[in-house]
Amino acid sequence: MDNSNSKRRNFIRTGLALGLASVAGATKLLGEPDEKKPAHNHTVKLLSPDGEIVEVDTADLKVETHEHAGTMARTITGREGIEGRKFVMVIDLGKCRNARKCIVACNKMHHIPEEKEWLQVKLMKDNENAAPYWFPKTCFHCDNPPCVKVCPVDATFKRSDGLVLIDNERCIGCKFCMAGCPYSTRVFNWGEPEITEPATCPPYSPESSTPSKHSTVEKCDFCPDMVRQGKLPDCVTACPNGVFYFGDENEDTVTNGSETVRFSQLIKDKAGYRFMEELGTKPRVYYLPPSNRMFPVERGFKNLTDDQKARFKDVQ
Amino acid sequence: MNIEKTSKSLLKEFWPQMSKWTTRELIWLGFWGIIFLVGLYALYVQIVEGHVVTGMRDHVIWGVYIVNFIFFIGIGYTGAIVGGLLHLFDAEWRKPLMRIAALMTVISVIIGPLYILLCIGRLDRLYYLFIYPRLQSPIIWDVVAVMTFLVGGILFLYLLAIRDFAILSRSEETMPAWRRKIYLFMSAGFINTRMQRHDLKLALNVLSLLLIPTVIIVSSVLSWIFGMTLRPGWHSTIFGPYFVLAAVYTGTGVLVLLMYAFRKLHNLGAYIQERHFVYVGYMLIAMAAGYGYFTFSEYLTDWYTSEKWNAELIHKLMDLNQYGWMFYFANFAGILLPILLIGIPKFRSINTITFSAALLVIAMWFKRYLIIVPTLETPLLPMQDIRPEYVNYSATWVEWALTGAGIAMFMILFKVASKYIPIVPIWETSEMIEKEKQTKAATNGQPQPSLS
């Protein structure tokens, strides 16, 4: 009992520490005028998730490195959940400006090429008069997962900690789960998969989901190998605006790296909802409506390539 | 009873067809053989390079393979359900058609599942279906159902053929000793005793009775691969019966085509008569009407309520710039036209019935395409993908080559089978001829074929 409590405290603490680090890391990558590190100074100005500029001493920062629980993964089958956990994610649509840092980080972490996106940012426009908004979409790790139901060989499974994972060494590539998932979350390796930076790729485990295996299905896994090390999933730490809150429903705590909040309170205060509740899939991902936006939606087009812009031509 | 005598003369008539290959037949075989080989090459390419050589991608994950799967397996179900029903109703006229029906079942149910294998990325792990099966998955239901059905279909074909094997093993025609030995073995000691006749009839009755619900189950299970997903156009309660009827309708069309082909090629006009076409034609009308009703009710409810994705799908189907032409062809040429051509007595003839059958078989293939592809192109979330091959499906040469290979396999297997088993069952047809002779004598001339 004591042990598990201290684990929980550790989780929150690490989360907090990580948060700061990630803000720094993201800022380095961003290079936008108001976020630039002043030359030869010991403090940096950072944009907080609330849109305020804060000054932080560089000594307090460390840059996040992408490590896998390589050796750990080998001893863990990946089929059993992390004990006592019930992972949950909250995505604040009011903060997303389609910076795509989450996608880049996710692809790097999972050694997948640019054109494959486990995490997508869609441009949504609910009706003619509605204002368009950016909509980051991970796997929803549903509590009533239609993908798991239809898998004929138990290659995709639901764990006690809420995660829906894929065992790519079991998957027969029938793609039924892809038909089953109403959110088009899953991707298939149609040919021999390209593995970016194979040298740093950890040994395969359903928790690392990498390296990709040909003719099997893969998707967002909530990075359980990172979580086992007490770290946050890469999309959470990479987001410059703190859009993603990740945490444990049992602890009623979620963190986006810089702020740690009560999950229930956040959902209550900001009218959190689940996407397409009517489908009955019971997602573990909650959304906060795109109100009180930090950025105009147009900001999202700023750094896109022409191809990326073309994706949204139907919405504009 | 003169059955023995009649069957002897029937065999004499059929034997030349069965004992040697004509040049024309060999050319025919060669032609389909080449198409089959092209398919094998395509299969090799697909296995080596992966599914990237097909037109399937992350949104449209299934394509013409699954269309062919539904199509062939549906044909297979028909032989059993039509054969089984006619057997149970003891419709005398069915007898010359039973062999075609039973062969159709077995051959199609062998070919159909091969297409589902083509949809599986890791064939090297196929045995996982047996060592890690999850009963919750409709795919496992399908595996169990199809295998059960295949066994049933083979039994049906075999039980119906036992008496012909016995006739062949005792025939006076010259044939290689090995062939006679095989016939003798296959006849399972049938020497036409009262007890054997009784047992065989009982076995066939029970099997027919079992096959009918099996077909319904198997067809429904197949439809539930789609019906159990949260997709527009698939997630529909009508899908089970819809697929059952679609299968039987298409299969009956194929039955007519086979009747026509063998009647022409094997000169079987005396046994596969105009009345057979007319009766099967009547069945087609009934099924077309039923299928038309299901289709109407399916689209009407989706269109009327116009839920977002359903409305989007219906628009895609009816829009002439998208799937409109295919949609109107499938539903008018495939349903309405056959009803008119066969229904109006003035038009009704062997040729128009066969033409209607050809039309509806093609239309029903497109109908399956319309069920699969447009739905997958209509995901619940906006695709926002600009890679054209990911947005719209279009089958590649590999998929077409393998589609051709399936048809080739059907043609080759049927042709080869017709060399070893008489395409018109000798025993049953003799029975029919004798019975009709008796009726004729009793009613003084007027032949009275009855639908029972």
Please say whether the beta carbons of A192 and B48 come within 8 A.
no
Give the model's pLDDT for residue A115: 87
Give the model's pLDDT for residue A44: 64
Give the model's pLDDT for residue A59: 60
Percentage of the residues of chain A whose pLDDT score is greater than 90: 56
Q: Inspect the interface and report whether the beta carbons of B134 and A184 lie closer than 8 Å.
A: no
Between B133, B229, B379, which is nearest A146 by CB? B229
On the question of pLDDT at A17 being above 60, the answer is no
Range in A21-30, A206-215, A250-259, B367-376 the model is least confident about: A21-30
Domain boundaries, chain A: 2-310
What confidence tier does A50 reach under pLDDT thresholds 50, 70, 90?
low
B56 touches chain A (CB under 8 A): yes
A150 touches chain B (CB under 8 A): yes
Q: Give chain B's domain count.
A: 1
A residues 245..304 contacting B (CB < 8 A): 276, 279, 281
Across chain B, what does the average pLDDT equal?
90
Residue at B269: amino acid letter: G
Q: Inspect the interface and report whether the beta carbons of A180 and B229 lie closer than 8 Å.
A: yes
Give the model's pLDDT for residue B3: 78
Chain A: residue whose CA lies nearest to B388: A311
Residues of A in Cβ contact (< 8 Å) with B228: 149-150, 180
Top pLDDT among A23 and B446 is at: B446
Chain B: residue whose CA lies nearest to A215: B121
- Which candidate in B140, B312, B378, B386 is best for mutational testing of the A interface (most A CBs within 10 A)? B386
Q: Inspect the interface and report whether the beta carbons of A192 and B50 lie closer than 8 Å.
A: yes
Give the model's pLDDT for residue A13: 46
On the question of pLDDT at B46 being above 90, the answer is yes
Give the model's pLDDT for residue A31: 37
Mean pLDDT of A87-116: 93
Give the model's pLDDT for residue A26: 41
Neighbouring-strand partners of residue A273: A287
Give the model's pLDDT for residue B69: 94
Top pLDDT among A195 and A43 is at: A195
On the question of pLDDT at B432 being above 50, the answer is yes
For B391-419, the pLDDT digits (tens) are 889 999 999 999 999 999 999 999 999 99
Range in B70-84, B87-101, B225-239, B429-443 the model is least confident about: B429-443
For B171, the domain range is 55-395
Give the model's pLDDT for residue B17: 83
ipTM entry = 0.88
Q: Inspect the interface and report whether the beta carbons of B61 and A179 lie closer than 8 Å.
A: yes
Neighbouring-strand partners of residue A122: A135
Between A152, A175, A279, which is nearest B129 by CB? A152
Give the model's pLDDT for residue B328: 94
Between B58, B61, B139, which is nearest A152 by CB? B139
Give the model's pLDDT for residue A198: 86
- CATH code of the domain containing B129: 1.20.1630.10
For B311-353, the pLDDT digits (tens) are 999 999 999 999 999 999 999 988 999 999 999 988 889 999 9
Chain centroid offset of residue B293 CA: 22
Between B132, B384, B387, which is nearest A154 by CB? B132
On the question of pLDDT at A187 being above 90, the answer is yes
Mean pLDDT of B358-362: 95
Residues of B in Cβ contact (< 8 Å) with A311: 384-386
Give the model's pLDDT for residue B83: 83
Mean pLDDT of B364-378: 94
Q: Does residue B231 form part of some domain?
A: yes
- Report the CATH architecture of A2-310: 2-Layer Sandwich (3.30)
Give the model's pLDDT for residue B192: 84
Chain B: residue whose CA lies nearest to A124: B382
B385 touches chain A (CB under 8 A): yes
Q: Inspect the interface and report whether the beta carbons of B122 and A171 lie closer than 8 Å.
A: yes
What confidence tier does B440 reach under pLDDT thresholds 50, 70, 90?
confident
What confidence tier does A108 reach under pLDDT thresholds 50, 70, 90?
very high
On the question of pLDDT at B299 being above 50, the answer is yes
Sequence-separated (6 or more) residues with CB below 8 Å from residue B242: B223, B236, B294, B295, B298
Q: Does residue B448 form part of some domain?
A: no
Give the model's pLDDT for residue A73: 45
On the question of pLDDT at A27 being above 50, the answer is no
Q: Does residue B95 form part of some domain?
A: yes
What confidence tier does B284 reach under pLDDT thresholds 50, 70, 90?
very high
For B79-98, the pLDDT digits (tens) are 888 888 888 888 888 888 88
Give the model's pLDDT for residue B361: 95
B297 touches chain A (CB under 8 A): no
Mean pLDDT of A297-313: 87
On the question of pLDDT at A20 being above 60, the answer is no
Give the model's pLDDT for residue B380: 93
Q: Does residue B447 form part of some domain?
A: no
Top pLDDT among B104 and A1 is at: B104
Q: Inspect the interface and report whether the beta carbons of B134 and A154 lie closer than 8 Å.
A: yes
Q: Does residue B88 form part of some domain?
A: yes
Give the model's pLDDT for residue A30: 38
Between B56, B132, B230, which is nearest A146 by CB? B230
For A277-292, the pLDDT digits (tens) are 999 999 999 999 999 8
What confidence tier does A309 reach under pLDDT thresholds 50, 70, 90?
confident
Mean pLDDT of B62-73: 94
Per-residue buried b or exposed e for B271-295, using 16+ beta carbons within 10 Å of the residue's own CB:
bbbeebbbbbbebbbebbebbbebb
On the question of pLDDT at A157 being above 90, the answer is yes
On the question of pLDDT at B374 being above 80, the answer is yes
For B169-208, the pLDDT digits (tens) are 888 888 888 889 999 999 888 888 889 989 998 999 999 9
For B5-40, the pLDDT digits (tens) are 888 888 888 888 888 888 998 999 999 999 999 999
For B228-283, the pLDDT digits (tens) are 999 999 999 999 999 999 999 999 999 999 999 999 888 888 888 888 999 999 99
What confidence tier does A25 reach under pLDDT thresholds 50, 70, 90?
very low
Give the model's pLDDT for residue A2: 45
